[in-house]
Structure 1
């Protein structure tokens, strides 16, 4: 049987610098290929005259900043021109240049993305087109759901974003979209690197990344990544530590590929909710407390320490020339403990005249979060007459639970500090007792989501021009949640289950080989859940639907995309008080509409670009009277980013590159409600500029890269997200100040 070939006798790497003109990433898919394992690895050459080569594996990148395909659409390496949805890729070259320290920082080059409530900096959460939170299941790892804790680590190779409702592909979701972090894979071609960096706030890092064949094997490869980083927190106290150890192994057969990967992450981070808007300094425009941004009002013990264990197993099997099977299993186990001095963000808790701030002491001990994912999929490429069908169908099962073992809470806000002249260290947590002062509660909180799904999709190619993409997912969900009271009696407040259908439909027209036009309809769903308040069993899930049209261009050096969208989210819960009684309703609606533009790649042989713009208009259509008609939290109406790179060529024995750019986020809002005195808080716009300079030199077969990075060059004070609006002093997270770092990586 004739098999597809991935025989890459030579891979053009004529320019050494990452992202330099003509750099070609010609890796294949993560799926099995029926060629021999030794033929799956590319050999590099520095020769100016290269022999002709045959490349049948689909390229992911035409240049360092120009992606041309993605895995986030149904787990296949799909050309972006054939996808009737908005898809963005943060390429390895972008990550290498910008050196982001978090997921939301990595996504600065993507339009329509903002940081969501990160739970005081302990979770990774992003708002996509106005929707998203820290428990919306939208952050994936290699296409599988996991806990939204430290997903972005030194093992990340690239980040993919699929915008709009994605329940047909990924089950329980908000309608904003999904973010897929793709990790580095074992390679048969040997590669080894050692890296280190130093920077602002006493930051230091050291790491290794080794990959290659095991022994003399031409079918068994390994990868080992280890990284340690530590820094002082930029505010007046706190420390950040993170250790990552990630071994993985891959066996590559003629028709089968098996990959097993494990990642261990140990961390300590400040539990920092930021600062507070001052209700006495203007009713409608957000003004923070009149204290330095560096000053915290909690205590040095306010931090979280945890461990994250992540395991993934993938079996890819070619069944024939037309059909292949994939079996995926993913497991995440996250444990943590934290203490914090929680500030009472009410009129009674913050007195801006005297400076008195009232606090209580909270703690969560023995918290455990687990996610099991199992997926079996089949993909086929068949013809019925002149019509081509790219088929996909399968089943998935997930078990996601969150148990907050012991929750400690002092009974009242009895611990004060003066915001203008703070004295720290007068209080401390006392593990092993129910409360700090013996009168609080020691409770458990539980949240469990189980799902089972069957799905099918078909990309129908009518000739060379038209593609119709249709999908349907039938999903059973079982949602359970509750907590114990002060007498340690557990009460289940959420216990509902049922079936949901999530359809999607799209049409793509290939105008030319470089241009495509598309339109699509997509849906999402998310079961109602509450730990604290009882939800009736017949409460309908939140549902979303989206219409999107757009155009895409993929040239030899430059790619661009335009998209216009309209999203409705319905069955949103909200509270109504009448006659002294508070009632929860599940009929709320919210809307997000707008357009986006993206461009990435090389303008000239030396000048590279990454540009994005988003206009996002959000509105609460139906809710409690105070919130109706207001914009959604954490979503600027206008966002614009522009980053340029330039390759200066060789000097002083190596290649020099530099880049500079900025991201503008327009004013955004924190919606009012009765608890906040019916105020609409407006957070000011901000522009944050970054830059880098890179020097790369070769020493025989080895390579050294030295890089200088600057973030927030103008030291702009800006705010990134909010917890919410149910207070007279809403909490807002503060963006990092100016940071300078120097890094070096030696490849041998």
Structure 2
């Protein structure tokens, strides 16, 4: 059998040979890779599948002439391509000069379309990612657990926020603090991911306050999770992993979409996405994504409004050079919507009865969350030859936040003489929390990627130097007993005073990292990934209230190693080791010197399976993850660097198409151990530091009927937990919630009705410190999109 592809219009073969073409062909079986190359190059390829059966090709990424492309594709297959009749014939390189027996070629129609690690994905199963290597790498060749949520999948499950997009992803806790409109609280493999969010591979660095960079789902192509320590590529990070989201970018082909969305809580939203070439030869491309949302929160008559616009531009002066400008402006105006209540009346009995989950225990007229942020950055790429590619990614960001909230505090004691009097369990004090901030960040990442061959192996070598400067200019406010509220029959309207700040600081963080990575293919089936990085970090803190200055510097080396075996049947077992670090912004009172950085390390073994000729993807991983050298406090509240948490778990994930037009996504997490193994406080040892459920599972299935109708149903199960440090007097119950979608696609229209938590189940995401946090209630909205 042979693959034959017609020459594409407007791409004469002599022009391709002189200028070269840019290819993005993933690794895979040689037969399928050559079919894909024939379509993209416009070349006539003739070959017998008896020659290519069972052989693997590394694929093709970058700009190549026809001759160099064929050499790269064939690699060490033992085959060569010789010109014949306006095309090429593949034959064995060691074949005799005469007397060859040639099989008659058969025409095969190859499918077009490709996937880039930084681009959109058709369907639900991504095959490539750059989050795990910073290079365009097949996921099956990456020796670490990765999940990719595509834009199509996020839209199907009705995800309008980052945490909702990751709600079907294994080992992810999307709501450790329940419903919270301020930002997306996310835990990865049992650890806080607060400082581990990235946009287009560059950090969205947060400081620990409520000034947090936000993202807009409508402007994103991919939501990616790299689980486990990742400091070799990204510098200081949580040991739980990295969340990297990828922005929409200009497209070669015209794209036009208008979208209208309406739903509960007076939700009205209009969005648009437009892209395509500006000039006739496609050297200048544009994209404009915009959104306006006018909505309210379910309680308190508080606004939940957003204005968002993201213009971007790509300039390609030649086939070897491209410059993409990315920017966005986001303005959020609204209140603060959290669902929290005392344990007495939720998890535990209260003499006054159970507290309704719909009760909003705050002051809606006082609450406010206003945030303005804008970002401007670029991605510059140049290929000086066939071997090396140079990249520079940079971004400047600015954010202003004005946040105020009345939060529930302790019970108001009405009758001191009778502690069991029901009146003592009816009212709660309200405390005032607030933040005013003016933050900015500049990050730059310089990379040199080389594709080399020596010693019988293929190397993808990455040399990088990144730098970030982030400034947090913030004042924080707190008042213990500003007012009180009846938790069973709340009334609103109490005027609350703004307290004096308890902290007012100007914090500057600088980090520079030098890293090296080598992805080595050898022996026909093996891929080794080796990496190392050295970081220099400096933190300067100007305390305005205390009129004090402090400085801290840290240096840290982190390493990474992994090995994958690519079996011909699509199986890919792997093993890996990875490290992370986070500077400790604290001083040892005994020595007067800063504490050493907190570190993380992980051992992981896994198995991936991508059946040949199918779009399905399966993965399973087992890991041993440890967070070390974090600060704990002894009985006298003296800080000591003795903390260690060990998390061990097993994960499974699958994206399957059981039958045509059907998608099935499955995930399961087993975490049998997530506990403190070392601490200055002996009472903490053996307990869970964070609320981690032993079992977590999810399933989503949708089907698209021939007439255009579509429907989907999902379920998310989260097992019980014991809260922070197992401080709750009883287990937080397990829960299961269901999501659904129905829709209809016709002509250029797409209609959908989404519902999350269809049954409006009341549940607690976790309990701790005398409080319980309710999970998200039902959300229903309809979307109409017109594309032309």
TM-score range for the pair, normalised by the shorter chain length: 0.7 to 0.9
Counterpart check, 1:139 vs 2:192: no
Q: Tell me the distance in 1 between the aligned counterparts of 2:286 and 2:701.
A: 36
After superposition, what is the alpha-carbon deviation per residue over 1:449-504, rounded to whole angstroms, capped at 9, x for unaligned? 210010001011112211111000000011234644xxx33335x63212100000
SS in 2 for 1:413: strand
Contact 2:722/2:728 (8 A) holds in 1: no
Aligned partner (choices 426, 429, 432) of residue 358 of structure 1: 429
After superposition, what is the alpha-carbon deviation per residue over 1:131-185, rounded to whole angstroms, capped at 9, x for unaligned? 1142x2x110011101442124321111011111000011100111101111111
Q: 686-695 or 58-67: which moved more? A: 58-67
Partner of 2:53 in structure 1? none
Partner of 2:698 in structure 1? 641
Partner of 1:40 in structure 2? none
Q: Tell me the distance in 1 between the aligned counterparts of 2:710 and 2:179.
A: 37
Contact 2:21/2:319 (8 A) holds in 1: no
Aligned partner (choices 74, 77, 89) of residue 133 of structure 2: 74
| Change in CA separation of 1:496 and 1:682 when aligned onto 2, cut-off 3 Å | farther
Q: Tell me the distance in 2 between the aligned counterparts of 1:446 and 1:637.
A: 41
Contact 1:72/1:162 (8 A) holds in 2: yes
SS in 1 for 2:684: coil
Contact 1:483/1:532 (8 A) holds in 2: no
Aligned partner (choices 673, 687, 691) of residue 736 of structure 2: 687
Aligned partner (choices 98, 101, 110) of residue 169 of structure 2: 110
| Change in CA separation of 1:95 and 1:442 when aligned onto 2, cut-off 3 Å | same
Contact 2:22/2:62 (8 A) holds in 1: no
Partner of 2:521 in structure 1? 461
**What does 1:36-47 align with in structure 2 at a 5 Å threshold?**
none
SS in 2 for 1:248: strand
Deviation at 1:34, TM superposition (A): 6.9
SS in 2 for 1:424: coil
Q: Tell me the distance in 1 between the aligned counterparts of 2:271 and 2:60.
A: 25
Deviation at 1:348, TM superposition (A): 6.1
Partner of 1:447 in structure 2? 507
Unmatched 5+ stretches in structure 2:
1-17, 25-35, 41-58, 67-106, 206-211
SS in 2 for 1:682: coil
Contact 1:278/1:288 (8 A) holds in 2: no
Q: 242-251 or 302-311: which moved more? A: 302-311
| Change in CA separation of 1:57 and 1:208 when aligned onto 2, cut-off 3 Å | closer
After superposition, what is the alpha-carbon deviation per residue over 1:629-672, rounded to whole angstroms, capped at 9, x for unaligned? 1113232111100101112111xxxx122111111011122234
Q: Tell me the distance in 1 between the aligned counterparts of 2:455 and 2:61.
A: 27
Deviation at 1:72, TM superposition (A): 0.5
Contact 1:372/1:400 (8 A) holds in 2: yes
Aligned partner (choices 142, 147, 163) of residue 227 of structure 2: 163
Q: Tell me the distance in 1 between the aligned counterparts of 2:179 and 2:701.
A: 33
Counterpart check, 1:614 vs 2:614: no
Q: 116-125 or 547-556: which moved more? A: 116-125
Q: Tell me the distance in 1 between the aligned counterparts of 2:341 and 2:411.
A: 10
Partner of 1:591 in structure 2? 646
Q: Tell me the distance in 2 between the aligned counterparts of 1:95 and 1:664.
A: 18
Aligned partner (choices 492, 505, 513) of residue 424 of structure 1: 492
Partner of 1:245 in structure 2? 309
Deviation at 1:224, TM superposition (A): 0.4
Q: 391-400 or 1-10: which moved more? A: 1-10
Contact 1:242/1:268 (8 A) holds in 2: yes
Aligned partner (choices 61, 64, 78) of residue 123 of structure 2: 64
Partner of 2:750 in structure 1? 705
Counterpart check, 1:509 vs 2:549: no
Contact 1:65/1:609 (8 A) holds in 2: no
* Greater RCO (CA < 8 Å, at least 6 residues apart): 1
Contact 2:394/2:442 (8 A) holds in 1: yes
Q: Tell me the distance in 2 between the aligned counterparts of 1:401 and 1:346.
A: 38
Counterpart check, 1:390 vs 2:455: no
Unmatched 5+ stretches in structure 1:
12-28, 37-48
Aligned partner (choices 680, 683, 691) of residue 626 of structure 1: 683
Q: 529-538 or 125-134: which moved more? A: 529-538
Contact 2:483/2:496 (8 A) holds in 1: no
Q: Tell me the distance in 1 between the aligned counterparts of 2:422 and 2:311.
A: 52
Contact 2:238/2:580 (8 A) holds in 1: yes
Partner of 1:527 in structure 2? 583
SS in 2 for 1:198: strand
Contact 2:23/2:61 (8 A) holds in 1: no
Counterpart check, 1:567 vs 2:638: no
Counterpart check, 1:601 vs 2:641: no
**What does 1:12-31 align with in structure 2 at a 5 Å threshold?**
none
Q: Tell me the distance in 1 between the aligned counterparts of 2:110 and 2:694.
A: 50
Counterpart check, 1:582 vs 2:637: yes
Counterpart check, 1:735 vs 2:775: yes
Aligned partner (choices 335, 339, 342) of residue 274 of structure 1: 339
Q: 550-559 or 118-127: which moved more? A: 118-127
Q: Tell me the distance in 1 between the aligned counterparts of 2:456 and 2:694.
A: 46
Deviation at 1:708, TM superposition (A): 1.1
**What does 1:130-209 align with in structure 2 at a 5 Å threshold?**
130-134=190-194, 136=195, 138-147=196-205, 148-209=212-273
Aligned partner (choices 402, 427, 439) of residue 369 of structure 1: 439
Contact 1:236/1:295 (8 A) holds in 2: no
Partner of 1:257 in structure 2? 322
Counterpart check, 1:381 vs 2:451: yes
Q: Tell me the distance in 2 between the aligned counterparts of 1:500 and 1:353.
A: 56
Q: Tell me the distance in 1 between the aligned counterparts of 2:428 and 2:115.
A: 61
Partner of 1:20 in structure 2? none
Deviation at 1:314, TM superposition (A): 0.7
SS in 1 for 2:143: coil
Partner of 1:305 in structure 2? 370
Matched pairs, number? 681
SS in 1 for 2:643: strand
Deviation at 1:213, TM superposition (A): 1.1
| Change in CA separation of 1:314 and 1:119 when aligned onto 2, cut-off 3 Å | farther
Q: Tell me the distance in 1 between the aligned counterparts of 2:140 and 2:458.
A: 17
SS in 2 for 1:423: coil
**What does 1:281-300 align with in structure 2 at a 5 Å threshold?**
290-300=354-364
SS in 2 for 1:110: coil
| Change in CA separation of 1:248 and 1:705 when aligned onto 2, cut-off 3 Å | same
**Structure index of larger Rg:** 2
Deviation at 1:54, TM superposition (A): 7.2
